[in-house]
Structure 1
Amino acid sequence: MSIWEEESPYRIEPLAKDHERKNFFCGVEELDRYLHKQITQDQKRRVAAPFVLVEGTSREVAGYYTLSSSSVDLSAWPPELAKKLPPYPTVPVVLLGRLAVDQKRRGQKLGEFLLIDALSKALENTDKVAAAAVIVDALNDEAVSFYRHYDFQQFPEQPNKLLLPMKTIAQMF
């Protein structure tokens, strides 16, 4: 059974106070610490919209991601994409700030499940708040490879910063 089917035991929902975060460990200290100590403050301040993956009726967090609005200097974009945009100094984007899956649930394609949900939400909201792409700041080479697998393109001067144009995302859905 695919995790995308209606019968999937997993669901993604906005972070709530009753979600159990203390036993989440993805193996990347920065991502674990963010979920344990910072995420609710960012949510309250409206600087990040966090979404969590839970299984069944459990409130234990199995994975999470955050979305925020951001902008990127047009001059930093890959040239083949920059020429398709208006000549503004900066371009509005959605920042996929963090994405992580608990170590106990690795190998189930839950990272992909979270990514597809994040892209869907980003696209859905472009009717209300415009954005030309989803961007990520990958923490390491493994994360770069993950995003490249889904056709994200690297920024020329910043290989750990990647983007996926909204036009490409729209074609996915």
Structure 2
Amino acid sequence: MVDTTKNTMIYTTWGTRNAKPVQPLVAAKLISKAKRPLLVVGADVLESDVLSKAIELGKKGMQIAATGHSMQGFKDQDVNAKYINIHFLATYLGDKTWKGLDGLGPYDLLIFLAHKKYYLNQVLSGLKNFTDIKTLAIDRHYFQNADMSFGNLKPDDHLAALDELISNL
């Protein structure tokens, strides 16, 4: 079992409430209980070994919002991935009448993976302060503006944590 709650050092702050550190098993239970989870994948997925893990999550039935140029990694992979700019996504998520990327209704859990920390923390800050949607960061870095997040992990520990999360879904 990988301990993903140890290193939650932050370098700057954007508010008074920080993310709760979360273990892979707890993250898997949270995802399993969600009615409409959305996996939001950033372009860093193409620069690491995380792409295969994102595809495995997508094959578990989770819809994928591919941001940046990450859509390249999901072509011909038999997953439900749709491209969207992350800033547009954050704006749409603030609209309670938005029916989602597939038109089936609002999302109740957003799972973030493979984003630039400085970029995503700003998006998460807006979601934290202006929506009621739960956010979970399963990235290699601790995202203090999510509701829950893995701590800062070494690449190998991150892959092991993702494997543990996927096996418990």
Higher strand share: 1
Highest CA radius of gyration, 1 or 2? Answer: 1
Q: Which has the higher contact order (CA 8 A, sep 6+)?
A: 2
**Interval of TM-score (by shorter of Structure 1 and Structure 2):** under 0.3
TM (norm. structure 2) is 0.27
TM (norm. structure 1) is 0.27
